[in-house]
Amino acid sequence: MNYAFIFPGQGSQSIGMGKDFYDNFELAKELFHLASDTLGFNMQELCFQDNEKINQTQYTQPAIFLVSYIAHSILQEESPLLAKLALGHSLGEISAVSVANGLSFEDALILTHKRGLLMQQACEGKDAGMMVIVGLDDAKLEHFCQEQQNNGKSIWCANYNGDGQIVLAGKKADLASVEGSLKELGAKRALLLPMSVASHCPLLSSMTEDFTKLIEPMLKENFSLPVISNATTNSYDNKQDAILLLSDQLTKPVLYKQSIQKIDSQIDAYIEFGCGNVLKGLNKRLSQKNTFSITDTTSLKDFLATL
């Protein structure tokens, strides 16, 4: 079987994420404690107890990475599997690089935390936000965004999640101002998301240099499997390409839909690692192949039963 390992990004987090693994696997406990020691804050409290930090990007990102990494590590411990390639959605691309042995566990934790801090800093005072649009085709929405940019508004296509589902990024006031126009254009839904950053658009350009300096000493020279770039849909497996592509990803849209369409003929099934089943939901509209989500002991056992 040719598997693609896939990893979710922000929006997949929830209180209780990873707790089932923590309660049932010694490896999960060890990784949670190592993550807490590495970052200097309590990852069990962040992931298991009600708190506001879980939705603050500098904490959300390492939490999502940690649970994805644990899910993948436990599967490998129970039944080692080789993937043909790895793919992440936004933040998930860093998880993909890590399981491809392009980043150590500790460095990936530090990177996701600092990436979140840099994103927050880059968006301070910019009234940044994101909006999900449902029911418009890509070309129509891209043309609309270009018209708005020509009129001085900060609005860009940021995430291509599936046919008729795109997330926009930009300034909240600009996004809110076009909600009516988007519905007149035929959008079934135009909803502002509860976010204080605008990912994958030029509003993050001020952090690109700092991010590149941060990631350069962390990356390994060569990876153990190819990773699909969100920014280009092409695969890469080395440090030189990763520096460029992971930096480009900050200001360019996530081409998730296009990536799945491009690799689907090479893949027999997808395995999603982490909290929830966001990518499984997206994949239902993009592929006829199975997507298995490994989120807890039950879903792990269900997947192992298919082998």
What are the domain boundaries of the chain?
A: 3-123+203-304, 128-197
Kindly state the percentage of the chain with pLDDT values over 90: 94
Asked whether residue 28 carries a pLDDT value surpassing 90, the answer given is yes
- Residue 219 confidence (pLDDT): 98
Q: Mean of the pLDDT values across residues 149-153?
A: 97
Q: Is 90 a catalytic residue?
A: yes
Catalytic residue among 154, 200, 229, 247: 200
Catalytic residue among 73, 90, 259, 287: 90
Q: Is 113 a catalytic residue?
A: no
- Residue 122 confidence (pLDDT): 96
pLDDT, tens digit (0-9, with 9 covering 90-100), for 56-97:
889 999 999 999 999 999 999 999 999 999 999 999 999 999
- Residue 13 confidence (pLDDT): 84
Asked whether residue 12 carries a pLDDT value surpassing 80, the answer given is no
Which CATH fold topology does 128-197 show?
Alpha-Beta Plaits (3.30.70)
- Residue 91 confidence (pLDDT): 96
Fold match flag (3-123+203-304 vs 128-197): no
- Residue 194 confidence (pLDDT): 80
Specify the residue for token string 């350069």: 216
Specify the residue for token string 């080789």: 82
Q: Mean of the pLDDT values across residues 123-129?
A: 94
Give CATH for domain 3-123+203-304: 3.40.366.10
On whether the CB atoms of residues 260 and 253 are closer than 8 A, the answer is: no
